[in-house]
Chains A and B, each alone.
Chain A
Amino acid sequence: MKKLRKLYIGLIMAFLYAPILLLILYSFNNSKSRAQWGGFTLRWYRELFADEAIMAALGTTLSIGLLAALLSTVLGTMGAVALFQMKRTPRKALLSIVNLPMLNSEVVTGVSLMLLFAAANIQLGYGTMLMAHVAFCVPYVVLSVMPKLRQLDPNLAEAAWDLGATPWQGFFRVILPDIMPGVFSGFIMALTMSIDDFVVSFFTTGSGVSNLSITIYTMAKRGISPKINALSTIIFACVFILLIGINMQDFKKDPRSKDKVEQVRIPY
Protein backbone atom coordinates (compact mmCIF):
# COMPACT_ATOMS: atom_id res chain seq x y z
CA MET A 1 0.00 0.00 0.00
CA LYS A 2 2.69 2.44 1.02
CA LYS A 3 4.60 1.82 -2.19
CA LEU A 4 1.43 2.32 -4.16
CA ARG A 5 0.83 5.67 -2.48
CA LYS A 6 4.36 6.82 -3.19
CA LEU A 7 4.03 5.68 -6.76
CA TYR A 8 0.85 7.73 -7.10
CA ILE A 9 2.54 10.88 -5.85
CA GLY A 10 5.42 10.11 -8.18
CA LEU A 11 3.07 9.86 -11.17
CA ILE A 12 1.34 13.13 -10.31
CA MET A 13 4.72 14.82 -9.96
CA ALA A 14 5.78 13.39 -13.30
CA PHE A 15 2.59 14.76 -14.85
CA LEU A 16 3.28 18.20 -13.39
CA TYR A 17 6.97 18.30 -14.16
CA ALA A 18 7.17 16.55 -17.54
CA PRO A 19 6.42 19.68 -19.58
CA ILE A 20 8.71 21.74 -17.41
CA LEU A 21 11.63 19.37 -17.75
CA LEU A 22 10.98 19.34 -21.45
CA LEU A 23 11.13 23.12 -21.54
CA ILE A 24 14.39 23.12 -19.66
CA LEU A 25 15.75 20.48 -22.02
CA TYR A 26 14.77 22.54 -25.07
CA SER A 27 16.60 25.52 -23.69
CA PHE A 28 19.83 23.54 -24.20
CA ASN A 29 18.78 22.07 -27.53
CA ASN A 30 20.92 23.09 -30.48
CA SER A 31 17.99 22.98 -32.88
CA LYS A 32 15.06 25.25 -33.43
CA SER A 33 12.72 22.32 -33.88
CA ARG A 34 10.83 21.11 -30.86
CA ALA A 35 10.85 17.53 -31.99
CA GLN A 36 14.55 16.93 -32.53
CA TRP A 37 17.56 16.92 -30.31
CA GLY A 38 20.35 18.81 -32.05
CA GLY A 39 22.96 18.53 -29.33
CA PHE A 40 23.76 20.54 -26.22
CA THR A 41 24.24 24.29 -26.48
CA LEU A 42 24.22 27.45 -24.40
CA ARG A 43 23.52 29.47 -27.49
CA TRP A 44 19.93 30.42 -26.47
CA TYR A 45 21.15 31.76 -23.17
CA ARG A 46 23.65 33.98 -24.96
CA GLU A 47 21.15 35.15 -27.52
CA LEU A 48 18.52 35.72 -24.89
CA PHE A 49 20.37 38.62 -23.36
CA ALA A 50 20.85 40.20 -26.76
CA ASP A 51 17.15 39.95 -27.62
CA GLU A 52 15.79 43.39 -26.93
CA ALA A 53 12.13 42.43 -27.25
CA ILE A 54 12.39 39.65 -24.70
CA MET A 55 14.54 41.73 -22.38
CA ALA A 56 12.03 44.56 -22.59
CA ALA A 57 9.18 42.17 -21.84
CA LEU A 58 11.14 40.76 -18.91
CA GLY A 59 11.77 44.28 -17.67
CA THR A 60 8.07 45.09 -17.92
CA THR A 61 7.08 41.90 -16.15
CA LEU A 62 9.53 42.43 -13.31
CA SER A 63 8.99 46.16 -12.86
CA ILE A 64 5.21 45.84 -12.99
CA GLY A 65 5.36 42.83 -10.70
CA LEU A 66 7.45 44.61 -8.10
CA LEU A 67 5.62 47.93 -8.33
CA ALA A 68 2.19 46.31 -8.32
CA ALA A 69 3.15 44.07 -5.40
CA LEU A 70 4.55 47.02 -3.47
CA LEU A 71 1.61 49.33 -4.12
CA SER A 72 -0.99 46.67 -3.50
CA THR A 73 0.76 45.61 -0.31
CA VAL A 74 0.63 49.16 1.02
CA LEU A 75 -2.95 49.65 -0.13
CA GLY A 76 -4.07 46.21 0.98
CA THR A 77 -2.47 46.48 4.41
CA MET A 78 -4.04 49.88 4.97
CA GLY A 79 -7.31 48.43 3.77
CA ALA A 80 -7.10 45.41 6.06
CA VAL A 81 -6.37 47.63 9.05
CA ALA A 82 -9.21 49.98 8.12
CA LEU A 83 -11.58 47.05 7.58
CA PHE A 84 -10.55 45.53 10.87
CA GLN A 85 -11.52 48.66 12.74
CA MET A 86 -14.87 49.07 11.03
CA LYS A 87 -18.21 48.17 12.44
CA ARG A 88 -19.71 44.91 11.38
CA THR A 89 -22.08 46.05 8.66
CA PRO A 90 -19.77 48.31 6.64
CA ARG A 91 -17.01 45.79 7.11
CA LYS A 92 -19.07 42.98 5.68
CA ALA A 93 -20.14 45.15 2.76
CA LEU A 94 -16.56 46.15 1.95
CA LEU A 95 -15.26 42.62 2.41
CA SER A 96 -17.67 41.29 -0.17
CA ILE A 97 -16.48 43.97 -2.58
CA VAL A 98 -12.92 42.87 -1.88
CA ASN A 99 -13.92 39.29 -2.60
CA LEU A 100 -15.55 40.13 -5.91
CA PRO A 101 -12.40 40.27 -8.04
CA MET A 102 -11.36 36.91 -6.61
CA LEU A 103 -14.70 35.33 -7.44
CA ASN A 104 -14.83 37.00 -10.80
CA SER A 105 -13.05 35.30 -13.58
CA GLU A 106 -9.95 36.98 -14.93
CA VAL A 107 -11.68 37.68 -18.21
CA VAL A 108 -14.40 39.71 -16.55
CA THR A 109 -11.86 41.57 -14.41
CA GLY A 110 -9.71 42.34 -17.44
CA VAL A 111 -12.60 43.39 -19.63
CA SER A 112 -14.19 45.56 -16.95
CA LEU A 113 -10.93 47.39 -16.30
CA MET A 114 -10.48 47.90 -20.01
CA LEU A 115 -13.92 49.48 -20.18
CA LEU A 116 -13.00 51.68 -17.23
CA PHE A 117 -9.82 52.95 -18.87
CA ALA A 118 -11.64 53.51 -22.13
CA ALA A 119 -14.38 55.48 -20.41
CA ALA A 120 -11.82 57.56 -18.52
CA ASN A 121 -10.09 58.12 -21.81
CA ILE A 122 -6.77 56.80 -20.54
CA GLN A 123 -4.36 55.59 -23.21
CA LEU A 124 -3.74 51.89 -22.66
CA GLY A 125 -0.11 51.12 -21.89
CA TYR A 126 2.30 50.61 -19.03
CA GLY A 127 0.32 52.80 -16.63
CA THR A 128 -3.00 51.07 -17.20
CA MET A 129 -1.41 47.65 -16.94
CA LEU A 130 0.19 48.64 -13.64
CA MET A 131 -3.10 50.01 -12.31
CA ALA A 132 -4.90 46.87 -13.36
CA HIS A 133 -2.34 44.68 -11.63
CA VAL A 134 -2.58 46.70 -8.44
CA ALA A 135 -6.36 46.44 -8.71
CA PHE A 136 -6.47 42.67 -8.82
CA CYS A 137 -3.62 42.13 -6.35
CA VAL A 138 -5.09 44.15 -3.49
CA PRO A 139 -7.63 41.51 -2.41
CA TYR A 140 -4.90 38.89 -2.00
CA VAL A 141 -3.00 41.18 0.34
CA VAL A 142 -6.12 42.05 2.33
CA LEU A 143 -7.00 38.40 2.73
CA SER A 144 -3.54 37.45 3.88
CA VAL A 145 -3.23 40.34 6.36
CA MET A 146 -6.72 40.00 7.88
CA PRO A 147 -6.10 36.69 9.69
CA LYS A 148 -2.95 38.14 11.27
CA LEU A 149 -4.95 41.09 12.56
CA ARG A 150 -7.53 38.74 14.01
CA GLN A 151 -4.79 36.89 15.85
CA LEU A 152 -3.50 40.08 17.46
CA ASP A 153 -3.89 40.45 21.17
CA PRO A 154 -6.75 42.98 21.24
CA ASN A 155 -4.92 45.06 23.82
CA LEU A 156 -1.61 45.21 21.96
CA ALA A 157 -2.12 48.63 20.41
CA GLU A 158 -3.61 49.97 23.61
CA ALA A 159 -0.58 48.73 25.50
CA ALA A 160 1.66 50.72 23.16
CA TRP A 161 -0.40 53.90 23.59
CA ASP A 162 -0.47 53.31 27.30
CA LEU A 163 3.33 53.31 27.35
CA GLY A 164 3.41 56.64 25.56
CA ALA A 165 3.27 55.75 21.87
CA THR A 166 1.11 57.83 19.58
CA PRO A 167 -1.22 55.74 17.41
CA TRP A 168 1.21 55.93 14.46
CA GLN A 169 4.22 55.07 16.61
CA GLY A 170 2.23 52.21 18.03
CA PHE A 171 1.34 50.98 14.57
CA PHE A 172 4.87 51.00 13.23
CA ARG A 173 6.58 49.75 16.37
CA VAL A 174 4.13 47.13 17.54
CA ILE A 175 1.31 46.24 15.15
CA LEU A 176 3.25 46.18 11.88
CA PRO A 177 6.09 43.96 13.16
CA ASP A 178 3.49 41.57 14.49
CA ILE A 179 1.46 41.27 11.29
CA MET A 180 4.59 41.29 9.11
CA PRO A 181 4.35 37.61 8.11
CA GLY A 182 0.90 38.27 6.69
CA VAL A 183 2.05 41.42 4.93
CA PHE A 184 5.03 39.57 3.50
CA SER A 185 3.02 36.63 2.24
CA GLY A 186 0.55 39.10 0.75
CA PHE A 187 3.43 40.74 -1.09
CA ILE A 188 4.70 37.41 -2.39
CA MET A 189 1.23 36.42 -3.48
CA ALA A 190 0.72 39.72 -5.28
CA LEU A 191 4.11 39.36 -6.96
CA THR A 192 3.29 35.84 -8.09
CA MET A 193 -0.12 36.81 -9.42
CA SER A 194 1.28 39.77 -11.27
CA ILE A 195 4.21 37.97 -12.84
CA ASP A 196 2.08 35.03 -13.98
CA ASP A 197 -0.82 37.14 -15.20
CA PHE A 198 -1.75 37.04 -18.82
CA VAL A 199 -5.48 37.68 -19.16
CA VAL A 200 -5.78 40.99 -17.34
CA SER A 201 -2.57 42.29 -18.89
CA PHE A 202 -3.83 41.30 -22.31
CA PHE A 203 -6.90 43.52 -21.99
CA THR A 204 -5.29 46.46 -20.26
CA THR A 205 -2.09 47.02 -22.17
CA GLY A 206 -1.44 48.85 -25.38
CA SER A 207 1.00 51.05 -27.25
CA GLY A 208 3.33 48.12 -27.77
CA VAL A 209 3.92 47.54 -24.07
CA SER A 210 3.98 43.84 -23.44
CA ASN A 211 5.08 41.63 -20.61
CA LEU A 212 6.45 38.11 -20.88
CA SER A 213 3.03 36.48 -20.95
CA ILE A 214 1.85 38.62 -23.81
CA THR A 215 5.12 38.09 -25.67
CA ILE A 216 4.78 34.35 -25.29
CA TYR A 217 1.13 34.48 -26.36
CA THR A 218 2.05 36.36 -29.49
CA MET A 219 4.93 34.00 -30.20
CA ALA A 220 2.82 30.89 -29.63
CA LYS A 221 1.14 31.43 -32.97
CA ARG A 222 4.41 31.53 -34.87
CA GLY A 223 6.41 29.17 -32.75
CA ILE A 224 8.13 29.91 -29.50
CA SER A 225 11.79 30.81 -29.59
CA PRO A 226 14.05 28.60 -27.46
CA LYS A 227 15.30 31.85 -25.97
CA ILE A 228 12.06 32.04 -24.00
CA ASN A 229 12.74 28.53 -22.74
CA ALA A 230 16.16 29.67 -21.62
CA LEU A 231 14.66 32.63 -19.80
CA SER A 232 11.99 30.48 -18.14
CA THR A 233 14.65 28.04 -17.03
CA ILE A 234 16.56 30.86 -15.38
CA ILE A 235 13.42 32.17 -13.65
CA PHE A 236 12.42 28.69 -12.57
CA ALA A 237 15.86 28.02 -11.12
CA CYS A 238 15.81 31.31 -9.22
CA VAL A 239 12.37 30.63 -7.74
CA PHE A 240 13.36 27.08 -6.89
CA ILE A 241 16.39 28.23 -4.94
CA LEU A 242 14.41 31.04 -3.30
CA LEU A 243 11.59 28.74 -2.21
CA ILE A 244 13.97 26.14 -0.85
CA GLY A 245 15.62 28.94 1.12
CA ILE A 246 12.30 30.14 2.54
CA ASN A 247 11.29 26.60 3.30
CA MET A 248 14.49 26.06 5.24
CA GLN A 249 13.75 29.13 7.32
CA ASP A 250 10.32 27.74 8.01
CA PHE A 251 11.79 25.17 10.32
CA LYS A 252 13.36 27.84 12.45
CA LYS A 253 10.20 29.91 12.75
CA ASP A 254 9.07 30.65 16.28
CA PRO A 255 6.33 28.32 17.45
CA ARG A 256 4.05 31.24 18.28
CA SER A 257 2.94 31.52 14.67
CA LYS A 258 1.25 28.16 14.98
CA ASP A 259 -0.87 29.30 17.90
CA LYS A 260 -4.55 28.97 17.40
CA VAL A 261 -6.49 32.18 17.25
CA GLU A 262 -7.29 32.93 20.81
CA GLN A 263 -10.73 34.03 21.69
CA VAL A 264 -11.21 37.74 21.89
CA ARG A 265 -12.37 38.56 25.35
CA ILE A 266 -15.01 41.21 25.53
CA PRO A 267 -13.44 43.89 27.68
CA TYR A 268 -15.89 44.79 30.35
Chain B
Amino acid sequence: MRKNKALAVPFILWAVLFVVVPLAMIVWYGVTVDEPVPCTEVLLDDGTIGYELEDGTIVDTKPWQKKAVISLSNFKRMIEPTYLRLLLRSLKIAVITTLICLLLGYPVALILTGKDFKRPALWLMLLVLPMWMNFLLRTYSWMSILENSGILNNWIASLRDAIPAFDSWLTNMGVRRKIIFLYNENAVILGMVYNYLSFMIMPIYTVIEKIDKNLLEAAADLGANPVKSFLRVTLPYSMPGVMEGITMVFVPAVTTFVISQLMGGGKVPLIGDIIQNQFGKSSDWHFGSTLSLLVMVVVLAFMGALGHIDKDEDPVKEVRIL
Protein backbone atom coordinates (compact mmCIF):
# COMPACT_ATOMS: atom_id res chain seq x y z
CA MET B 1 0.00 0.00 0.00
CA ARG B 2 0.94 3.63 -0.20
CA LYS B 3 3.61 3.97 2.36
CA ASN B 4 4.79 7.49 2.68
CA LYS B 5 8.43 6.79 2.22
CA ALA B 6 9.09 10.49 1.68
CA LEU B 7 8.39 11.02 5.35
CA ALA B 8 11.34 8.88 6.35
CA VAL B 9 13.79 10.70 4.10
CA PRO B 10 14.59 13.78 6.21
CA PHE B 11 14.78 11.62 9.28
CA ILE B 12 17.14 9.07 7.75
CA LEU B 13 19.15 11.97 6.39
CA TRP B 14 19.42 13.32 9.92
CA ALA B 15 20.41 9.92 11.28
CA VAL B 16 23.13 9.47 8.69
CA LEU B 17 24.43 13.02 8.64
CA PHE B 18 24.37 13.82 12.33
CA VAL B 19 24.82 10.46 13.98
CA VAL B 20 26.50 7.96 11.70
CA VAL B 21 28.88 10.24 9.81
CA PRO B 22 30.15 12.09 12.92
CA LEU B 23 30.80 8.81 14.68
CA ALA B 24 32.55 7.46 11.61
CA MET B 25 34.70 10.59 11.64
CA ILE B 26 35.66 9.99 15.25
CA VAL B 27 36.67 6.47 14.32
CA TRP B 28 38.62 7.74 11.31
CA TYR B 29 40.39 10.44 13.28
CA GLY B 30 41.02 7.99 16.06
CA VAL B 31 42.90 5.49 13.95
CA THR B 32 44.91 8.07 12.01
CA VAL B 33 47.65 10.53 12.86
CA ASP B 34 48.95 13.63 11.15
CA GLU B 35 52.28 13.72 9.53
CA PRO B 36 53.72 17.12 8.83
CA VAL B 37 54.24 17.72 5.14
CA PRO B 38 57.96 17.17 4.55
CA CYS B 39 59.64 20.47 3.67
CA THR B 40 62.81 22.39 4.08
CA GLU B 41 63.27 25.90 5.35
CA VAL B 42 64.65 28.30 2.78
CA LEU B 43 65.63 31.94 2.86
CA LEU B 44 63.58 33.86 0.36
CA ASP B 45 64.78 36.77 -1.76
CA ASP B 46 62.94 39.33 0.33
CA GLY B 47 64.72 38.14 3.44
CA THR B 48 61.84 36.21 4.95
CA ILE B 49 61.77 32.52 5.56
CA GLY B 50 59.84 30.23 3.27
CA TYR B 51 59.27 26.54 3.05
CA GLU B 52 60.10 24.37 0.07
CA LEU B 53 57.98 21.32 -0.47
CA GLU B 54 59.19 18.08 -2.01
CA ASP B 55 57.84 19.00 -5.41
CA GLY B 56 59.80 22.23 -5.42
CA THR B 57 57.00 24.69 -4.70
CA ILE B 58 57.77 27.31 -2.13
CA VAL B 59 55.19 28.55 0.35
CA ASP B 60 55.29 31.46 2.79
CA THR B 61 53.91 29.73 5.84
CA LYS B 62 54.88 26.42 7.30
CA PRO B 63 52.72 23.90 5.45
CA TRP B 64 49.84 23.40 7.79
CA GLN B 65 48.15 20.93 5.56
CA LYS B 66 48.46 17.62 7.25
CA LYS B 67 47.64 14.30 5.77
CA ALA B 68 46.05 11.65 7.90
CA VAL B 69 47.93 8.39 7.96
CA ILE B 70 46.49 5.26 9.43
CA SER B 71 48.40 4.48 12.56
CA LEU B 72 47.78 2.87 15.89
CA SER B 73 50.30 5.06 17.66
CA ASN B 74 47.53 6.97 19.40
CA PHE B 75 46.27 3.73 20.85
CA LYS B 76 49.73 3.05 22.22
CA ARG B 77 49.78 6.54 23.65
CA MET B 78 46.36 6.00 25.14
CA ILE B 79 47.52 3.08 27.25
CA GLU B 80 50.39 5.02 28.68
CA PRO B 81 50.14 5.10 32.49
CA THR B 82 49.29 8.82 32.52
CA TYR B 83 46.12 8.32 30.56
CA LEU B 84 45.20 4.98 32.07
CA ARG B 85 45.45 6.54 35.50
CA LEU B 86 43.13 9.33 34.35
CA LEU B 87 40.66 6.83 32.97
CA LEU B 88 40.76 4.83 36.19
CA ARG B 89 40.19 7.95 38.25
CA SER B 90 37.26 8.94 36.03
CA LEU B 91 35.76 5.50 36.44
CA LYS B 92 36.34 5.51 40.19
CA ILE B 93 34.71 8.92 40.64
CA ALA B 94 31.83 7.95 38.36
CA VAL B 95 31.21 4.71 40.25
CA ILE B 96 31.30 6.46 43.63
CA THR B 97 29.00 9.18 42.34
CA THR B 98 26.58 6.61 40.96
CA LEU B 99 26.52 4.67 44.23
CA ILE B 100 25.93 7.78 46.31
CA CYS B 101 23.15 8.89 43.96
CA LEU B 102 21.57 5.46 44.23
CA LEU B 103 21.79 5.40 48.02
CA LEU B 104 20.42 8.92 48.35
CA GLY B 105 17.92 8.72 45.49
CA TYR B 106 16.27 5.35 46.01
CA PRO B 107 14.77 6.27 49.40
CA VAL B 108 13.50 9.53 47.89
CA ALA B 109 11.67 7.66 45.15
CA LEU B 110 10.39 5.13 47.65
CA ILE B 111 9.11 7.74 50.10
CA LEU B 112 7.49 9.86 47.41
CA THR B 113 5.57 6.88 46.05
CA GLY B 114 4.38 6.04 49.54
CA LYS B 115 1.49 7.50 51.46
CA ASP B 116 3.31 10.29 53.26
CA PHE B 117 2.95 12.85 50.51
CA LYS B 118 -0.47 13.69 49.19
CA ARG B 119 0.74 15.21 45.93
CA PRO B 120 3.82 13.27 44.85
CA ALA B 121 3.68 14.78 41.36
CA LEU B 122 4.23 18.20 42.84
CA TRP B 123 7.19 17.02 44.87
CA LEU B 124 8.65 15.30 41.87
CA MET B 125 8.32 18.53 39.96
CA LEU B 126 10.17 20.31 42.74
CA LEU B 127 12.94 17.73 42.40
CA VAL B 128 13.31 18.47 38.69
CA LEU B 129 12.96 22.20 38.95
CA PRO B 130 16.58 22.91 39.94
CA MET B 131 17.63 21.49 36.59
CA TRP B 132 16.16 24.59 35.02
CA MET B 133 18.79 26.73 36.64
CA ASN B 134 21.87 26.59 34.47
CA PHE B 135 24.00 23.74 35.78
CA LEU B 136 27.22 25.73 35.53
CA LEU B 137 25.67 28.34 37.71
CA ARG B 138 24.45 25.82 40.25
CA THR B 139 27.88 24.27 40.42
CA TYR B 140 29.40 27.68 40.74
CA SER B 141 27.07 28.40 43.60
CA TRP B 142 28.44 25.37 45.41
CA MET B 143 31.89 26.82 45.00
CA SER B 144 30.83 29.97 46.79
CA ILE B 145 29.50 27.84 49.62
CA LEU B 146 32.60 25.73 49.92
CA GLU B 147 35.50 28.02 49.09
CA ASN B 148 38.08 28.97 51.70
CA SER B 149 36.38 32.23 52.59
CA GLY B 150 33.02 30.87 51.62
CA ILE B 151 29.78 30.63 53.51
CA LEU B 152 30.37 27.28 55.14
CA ASN B 153 33.76 28.29 56.48
CA ASN B 154 32.31 31.58 57.68
CA TRP B 155 29.58 29.79 59.55
CA ILE B 156 31.94 27.35 61.15
CA ALA B 157 34.22 30.22 62.12
CA SER B 158 31.41 32.15 63.76
CA LEU B 159 30.25 28.98 65.53
CA ARG B 160 33.75 28.51 66.86
CA ASP B 161 33.80 32.07 68.08
CA ALA B 162 30.46 31.68 69.76
CA ILE B 163 31.08 28.31 71.39
CA PRO B 164 34.63 28.00 72.76
CA ALA B 165 34.11 24.32 73.61
CA PHE B 166 33.29 23.56 69.99
CA ASP B 167 36.33 25.49 68.93
CA SER B 168 38.73 23.66 71.22
CA TRP B 169 37.18 20.34 70.26
CA LEU B 170 37.80 21.05 66.59
CA THR B 171 41.28 22.29 67.31
CA ASN B 172 42.01 19.11 69.22
CA MET B 173 40.74 17.14 66.23
CA GLY B 174 43.31 18.95 64.15
CA VAL B 175 40.80 20.85 62.07
CA ARG B 176 42.18 24.01 60.62
CA ARG B 177 40.55 27.39 60.92
CA LYS B 178 39.83 27.43 57.21
CA ILE B 179 38.76 24.02 56.04
CA ILE B 180 39.66 23.22 52.47
CA PHE B 181 36.56 21.77 50.89
CA LEU B 182 37.18 22.57 47.27
CA TYR B 183 39.60 21.42 44.61
CA ASN B 184 39.84 17.76 45.46
CA GLU B 185 38.13 14.54 44.43
CA ASN B 186 35.48 14.82 47.13
CA ALA B 187 34.45 18.23 45.85
CA VAL B 188 34.15 16.83 42.32
CA ILE B 189 32.03 13.96 43.60
CA LEU B 190 29.81 16.38 45.51
CA GLY B 191 29.33 18.45 42.36
CA MET B 192 28.39 15.38 40.37
CA VAL B 193 26.01 14.00 42.98
CA TYR B 194 24.36 17.38 43.15
CA ASN B 195 23.95 17.63 39.40
CA TYR B 196 22.91 14.07 38.67
CA LEU B 197 20.81 13.07 41.69
CA SER B 198 17.54 13.86 39.90
CA PHE B 199 18.54 11.59 37.00
CA MET B 200 18.60 8.73 39.48
CA ILE B 201 15.36 9.57 41.27
CA MET B 202 13.17 10.04 38.20
CA PRO B 203 13.37 6.61 36.57
CA ILE B 204 13.19 4.79 39.91
CA TYR B 205 10.14 6.81 40.89
CA THR B 206 8.45 6.07 37.58
CA VAL B 207 8.97 2.34 37.96
CA ILE B 208 7.96 2.09 41.62
CA GLU B 209 4.86 4.15 40.95
CA LYS B 210 3.75 1.62 38.36
CA ILE B 211 4.03 -1.36 40.70
CA ASP B 212 0.58 -2.72 41.25
CA LYS B 213 -0.44 -1.79 44.80
CA ASN B 214 -2.35 -5.06 44.92
CA LEU B 215 0.98 -6.87 44.83
CA LEU B 216 2.06 -5.18 48.03
CA GLU B 217 -1.30 -5.84 49.63
CA ALA B 218 -1.11 -9.45 48.54
CA ALA B 219 2.36 -9.71 50.04
CA ALA B 220 1.11 -8.19 53.30
CA ASP B 221 -1.86 -10.53 53.17
CA LEU B 222 0.47 -13.48 52.85
CA GLY B 223 2.20 -12.36 56.02
CA ALA B 224 5.14 -10.40 54.69
CA ASN B 225 6.23 -7.61 56.98
CA PRO B 226 7.07 -4.27 55.33
CA VAL B 227 10.78 -5.14 55.11
CA LYS B 228 10.07 -8.48 53.53
CA SER B 229 7.56 -7.14 51.07
CA PHE B 230 10.04 -4.45 50.12
CA LEU B 231 12.75 -7.04 49.50
CA ARG B 232 10.47 -9.48 47.75
CA VAL B 233 8.25 -7.14 45.73
CA THR B 234 9.30 -3.51 45.47
CA LEU B 235 13.03 -4.02 45.09
CA PRO B 236 12.96 -6.63 42.32
CA TYR B 237 10.23 -4.80 40.44
CA SER B 238 12.11 -1.51 40.63
CA MET B 239 15.31 -2.92 39.15
CA PRO B 240 14.65 -1.64 35.61
CA GLY B 241 14.33 1.88 37.02
CA VAL B 242 17.52 1.43 39.02
CA MET B 243 19.36 0.30 35.90
CA GLU B 244 18.06 3.26 33.95
CA GLY B 245 19.06 5.60 36.76
CA ILE B 246 22.54 4.11 37.02
CA THR B 247 23.03 4.63 33.30
CA MET B 248 21.75 8.16 33.39
CA VAL B 249 24.17 9.08 36.16
CA PHE B 250 27.17 7.01 35.14
CA VAL B 251 27.44 8.10 31.52
CA PRO B 252 27.67 11.84 32.13
CA ALA B 253 29.72 11.31 35.29
CA VAL B 254 32.42 9.40 33.47
CA THR B 255 32.84 12.01 30.77
CA THR B 256 32.16 15.38 32.34
CA PHE B 257 34.82 18.03 32.13
CA VAL B 258 33.01 21.03 33.50
CA ILE B 259 32.39 19.86 37.02
CA SER B 260 35.94 18.63 37.43
CA GLN B 261 37.23 21.97 36.21
CA LEU B 262 35.03 24.01 38.54
CA MET B 263 34.90 21.89 41.67
CA GLY B 264 38.31 20.34 41.12
CA GLY B 265 39.90 23.59 40.12
CA GLY B 266 41.91 21.77 37.48
CA LYS B 267 43.59 19.67 40.16
CA VAL B 268 41.47 16.63 39.48
CA PRO B 269 41.60 16.23 35.71
CA LEU B 270 39.37 13.53 34.30
CA ILE B 271 39.32 11.83 30.96
CA GLY B 272 36.75 14.37 29.74
CA ASP B 273 39.17 17.21 30.51
CA ILE B 274 41.85 15.58 28.40
CA ILE B 275 39.46 15.14 25.50
CA GLN B 276 38.36 18.74 25.74
CA ASN B 277 41.99 19.77 25.81
CA GLN B 278 42.84 17.83 22.68
CA PHE B 279 40.13 19.69 20.79
CA GLY B 280 41.07 23.00 22.33
CA LYS B 281 44.51 24.08 23.40
CA SER B 282 46.59 21.06 22.37
CA SER B 283 44.62 20.71 19.19
CA ASP B 284 45.44 17.10 18.57
CA TRP B 285 42.13 16.01 17.14
CA HIS B 286 43.45 12.58 16.37
CA PHE B 287 44.41 11.76 19.92
CA GLY B 288 41.21 13.41 21.16
CA SER B 289 39.23 11.12 18.89
CA THR B 290 41.12 8.07 20.10
CA LEU B 291 40.23 9.01 23.68
CA SER B 292 36.61 9.60 22.66
CA LEU B 293 36.57 6.12 21.17
CA LEU B 294 37.93 4.80 24.43
CA VAL B 295 35.18 6.53 26.37
CA MET B 296 32.54 5.19 23.98
CA VAL B 297 33.85 1.67 24.38
CA VAL B 298 33.92 1.99 28.16
CA VAL B 299 30.36 3.30 28.25
CA LEU B 300 29.11 0.64 25.86
CA ALA B 301 30.87 -2.09 27.84
CA PHE B 302 29.27 -0.70 30.98
CA MET B 303 25.82 -0.72 29.40
CA GLY B 304 26.43 -4.21 28.10
CA ALA B 305 27.33 -5.34 31.60
CA LEU B 306 24.08 -3.85 32.86
CA GLY B 307 22.22 -5.68 30.12
CA HIS B 308 20.93 -2.37 28.97
CA ILE B 309 21.57 -2.57 25.29
CA ASP B 310 18.82 -3.62 22.93
CA LYS B 311 15.90 -3.63 25.27
CA ASP B 312 13.31 -4.60 22.77
CA GLU B 313 9.99 -3.40 24.02
CA ASP B 314 8.02 -3.09 20.84
CA PRO B 315 6.07 -6.05 19.60
CA VAL B 316 4.08 -3.80 17.30
CA LYS B 317 2.95 -5.13 14.01
CA GLU B 318 3.54 -2.50 11.39
CA VAL B 319 0.57 -0.20 11.23
CA ARG B 320 0.04 2.37 8.57
CA ILE B 321 -1.12 5.75 9.74
CA LEU B 322 -0.12 7.92 6.84
| Closest chain A CB from B317 CB (angstroms) | 6
Q: Bound complex: CA of A97 vs CA of B18, how far in Å?
A: 10
The answer to whether A220 touches B321 (Cβ under 8 A) is no
A77-98 vs B, CB cutoff 8 Å, 1 = contact: the mask equals 0110111111110011010111
B226-270 vs A, CB cutoff 8 Å, 1 = contact: the mask equals 000000000000000000000100011011111000100000000
| Closest chain B CB from A73 CB (angstroms) | 13
The answer to whether A213 touches B130 (Cβ under 8 A) is no
Q: Bound complex: CA of A157 vs CA of B319, how far in Å?
A: 9
Given the known A-B contacts A23-B141, A104-B299, A115-B22, are A264 and B319 also in contact in the complex, defined by CB atoms under 8 Å?
yes
The answer to whether A103 touches B133 (Cβ under 8 A) is no
Main secondary structure of the interface of A (DSSP, over half): helix
Q: Please tell me which stretch of B55-63, B73-81, B217-225, B272-280 contacts chain A, meaning at least 4 of its Cβ atoms lie within 8 angstroms of it.
A: B272-280
B106-136 vs A, CB cutoff 8 Å, 1 = contact: the mask equals 0110011010110001110111011111111
The answer, among B10, B132, B321, for a CB contact under 8 Å with A85, is: B321
Asked if A208 is at the interface of the complex by the 8 Å CB criterion, the answer is: no
Main secondary structure of the interface of B (DSSP, over half): helix
The answer to whether A35 touches B299 (Cβ under 8 A) is no
The answer to whether B321 touches A81 (Cβ under 8 A) is yes
The answer to whether B252 touches A12 (Cβ under 8 A) is no
A139-175 vs B, CB cutoff 8 Å, 1 = contact: the mask equals 0000000100110101011100000000110110001
* Size category, B interface: 35 or more
| Closest chain B CB from A96 CB (angstroms) | 7
Interface centre among A19, A113, A239 (most CB of B within 10 A): A19
Q: Bound complex: CA of A202 vs CA of B312, how far in Å?
A: 34
Which residues on A sit within 8 Å (CB–CB) of B117?
A: 9
A232-252 vs B, CB cutoff 8 Å, 1 = contact: the mask equals 100110011001100100100
The answer to whether A6 touches B116 (Cβ under 8 A) is yes
- What 4 A-B pairs come out closest when comparing CB atoms? A79-B11, A112-B22, A19-B141, A105-B255
